[in-house]
Amino acid sequence: MPAEPARLTFPYPRGWYRIGDTAEFKNGELKTPRYFARHFRVHRNGAGELAAHGSDGITRPVLERGSRVLMYFDSMANEPTFTPSSTFASRFREWVDAGDLKWNVRSNIQEVSENSVDTAHFIFVHRYDVIPKIDGPHFDRHRMRVNLESYRKVLFVDTPVQIALEYEGLGLIVGTVHNRAVDLLVTYMPTPIDEERLELTMSLQFRRSSSRIKDAIIKALLPWEVARDFKHDIPIWENKKYHHRPVLCSADGPIVQLRRWAGQFYVNRS
């Protein structure tokens, strides 16, 4: 008899996932990233297109959005059921790039995607002043939108905060954060490395102001502030037990609705 697994493992949800950045995949060069517990041989053909040949013998579609290289993963190798929107990871002129943050976390993608609708944790984990008011989630096939409104300190300023999150599957999440200190565009791209680990890439951009000095200060402080805040989630994800039928109170937010929507991506689910 095989031993009981220590942690609950999930199948990989199908969808588009970041496997690198455009600049890493040069013409004629072979890259071999490892995600989903497989190696992928990724190279550009003469036409500049990318394809990913997996160590499981399956070739998977790859496309680029902005400066991101995205691969469609479905363990059954079915055709993509959606395409990421053209606005995903596009860079607008009014946004200043504040770089990427990256973490390697011992958790799974389902757990991490539930974080945004777990409204109570914003107070206890992220020191928001009040439990966010939540609008949504609103579902549209592979998309989910959720809006949150609360108060907190941002870059030393006490301010109301409005967060709008848009999921395209579980691998591509774009968030806009509006507050008195700065407007943010946060692109969040979790990719499973294997059943135990996730690579989380967060790209930070903020709205250009009329002051170059202010923008330079924000650019320097923002990654530090976001990383400091995000660090509080990581030990929780790494130690938390997943309950299929959680006992929830109203302040826990619409976790059950999110799970129902996410169910569409688990093609192998029994």
Residues that bind Fe ion (CB under 5 A): 115, 233
CB of 177 to Fe ion, least distance (A): 13
Q: Minimum distance between the CB of residue 233 and Fe ion, rounded to whole angstroms?
A: 4
Alpha helices in 14-120 (DSSP H): 109-114
Which residue number, 38 or 153, has a Cβ lying nearer to Fe ion?
Answer: 153
Buried b (16+ CB within 10 A) or exposed e, 133-169: ebebbebeebbbebbbebebebbeeebebbbbbbbbb
Q: How far is the CB of 6 from Fe ion (least distance, A)?
A: 24
Query: Is residue 122 exposed (0-12), middle (13-18) or buried (19+ Cβ within 10 Å)?
Result: buried
Q: How far is the CB of 85 from Fe ion (least distance, A)?
A: 25
**Least distance (Å) from Fe ion to the CB of residue 237?**
9
DSSP-assigned beta bridge partners for residue 206: 96, 184
Q: Which residue is nearest to Fe ion (CB)?
A: 233
Residue number, 51 or 226, with CB nearest to Fe ion:
226
Exposed, middle or buried by CB within 10 Å (0-12, 13-18, 19+), for 226? middle
Nearer to Fe ion, 62 or 187 (CB): 187
Pick the closest to residue 172 from 105, 229, 90, 61 (CA basis). Answer: 90
Contact 207, 214 (CB under 8 A): no
Q: Which CB sits closer to Fe ion, 124 or 224? A: 124
> Could you tell me the smallest distance in angstroms from the CB atom of residue 84 to Fe ion?
24
According to DSSP, the β-strands at 198-207 and 15-21 are unpaired
Residue whose CB is less far from Fe ion, 96 or 177 = 177
Rank residues 199 and 233 by Cβ distance to Fe ion and give the closer one: 233
> Exposed, middle or buried, 13 (CB in 10 Å: 0-12/13-18/19+)?
buried
Q: What is the DSSP letter of 131?
A: P
